[in-house]
């Protein structure tokens, strides 16, 4: 990983953290059943460097279409690992992971190197691109947490989140419709938040970064195979998933 990217991201994260009332953010996260949205939180300079990397990997977008569920483009961790040092540095930044661990109350860590979804870009570029309602279900032995970062937002698409869908306390369902502007960060427990992205309009574009963290990085081999198949067909393509995970890379 690039040392200069790591240093620059480290100071960007420290600066962003200094603007937060950590106690208030943590309280809100728990009040919202493990969901938080920090509007335009990451520094513009960091977002600009990540957007440069978005443009660099654009030729590697893999488009996919699953009728009635999702349509859009993705770039996997394996491509980002080769061409996106700032994004990788953010994913692995110790101060960032410490913040997320304190927020969730769990010792989080990045996913293993064999997970194409661990850190990935989603491109909504064609009219109708969207993803239907789903949980970010964990196939790992432990819990999985999702962090979304808005990078390009020139669209009428919205991240729709339903809070308290599985709430044991029976709180009434709350639906939020969010624009993920550049620098906006959303974090949630993947097994709890029911969420979707509404269809893109004509001449619009939306690009977001997804970062996945886990409490226990091991996975039963059968679940790994199923997870890879899902990633191959729904996101990154067979070649990217199965060649990218090969130990020679």
Q: Which residues bind Fe ion (CB under 5 A)?
A: 136
CB closer to Fe ion out of 61 and 159: 159
Contact 174, 163 (CB under 8 A): yes
Q: Kindly state the smallest distance separating residue 83's Cβ from Fe ion, in Å.
A: 23
Smallest gap, in angstroms, from Cβ of residue 216 to Fe ion? Answer: 20
Contact 80, 48 (CB under 8 A): no
For residue 193, the minimal CB distance to Fe ion (Å) is 8
Q: Given the complex with Fe ion, which of 190 and 237 has the nearer CB atom? A: 190
Tell me whether residue 56 or residue 165 sits nearer to Fe ion (CB atom).
165
The total number of residues shown for the chain amounts to 249
State the residue number with the nearest CB to Fe ion: 136
Q: Which residues, at least 6 apart from 225, have a Cβ–Cβ distance to it below 8 Å?
A: none
What is the closest distance, in whole angstroms, from the C-beta atom of residue 194 to Fe ion in the complex? 10
Q: Whole-angstrom Cα distance, residue 162 to residue 67?
A: 22
> Rounded to the nearest 5 degrees, what angle is found at the Cα of 189, between the Cα atoms of 243 and 232?
20
Cβ-Cβ contacts under 8 Å for 68 (sequence gap 6 or more):
132
**Looking at beta carbons only, is 15 or 166 nearer to Fe ion?**
166
H/E stretch holding 116: none
Minimum separation from the CB atom of position 78 to Fe ion (A): 20
Which residue lies nearer to Fe ion by CB, 42 or 147? 147
């Amino acid at each position: 990983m690039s040392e200069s990217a790591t240093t620059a991201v480290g100071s960007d994260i420290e600066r962003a953290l200094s603007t937060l009332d950590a106690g208030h953010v943590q309280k809100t996260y728990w009040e919202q059943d493990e969901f938080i949205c920090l509007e335009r939180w990451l520094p513009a300079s960091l977002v600009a460097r990540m957007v440069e990397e978005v443009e660099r990997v654009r030729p590697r977008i893999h488009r996919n279409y699953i009728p009635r569920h999702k349509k859009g483009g993705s770039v996997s961790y394996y491509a980002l690992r080769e061409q996106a040092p700032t994004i990788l540095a953010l994913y692995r930044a110790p101060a960032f992971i410490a913040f997320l661990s304190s927020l969730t109350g769990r010792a989080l860590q990045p996913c293993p190197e064999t997970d194409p979804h661990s850190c990935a870009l989603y491109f909504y570029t064609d009219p109708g691109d969207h993803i239907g309602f789903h949980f970010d279900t964990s196939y790992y032995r432990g819990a999985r947490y999702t962090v979304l970062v808005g990078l390009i937002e020139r669209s009428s698409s919205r991240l729709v989140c339903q809070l308290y869908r599985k709430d044991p306390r029976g709180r009434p369902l709350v639906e939020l419709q969010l624009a993920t502007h550049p620098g906006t960060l959303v974090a949630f427990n993947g097994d709890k938040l029911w969420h979707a992205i509404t269809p893109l309009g004509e001449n619009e574009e939306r690009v977001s970064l997804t970062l996945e963290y886990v409490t226990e990085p091991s996975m039963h081999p059968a679940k790994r195979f199923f997870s890879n198949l899902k990633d191959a067909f729904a996101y990154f393509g067979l070649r990217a998933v199965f060649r990218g995970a090969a130990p020679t890379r």
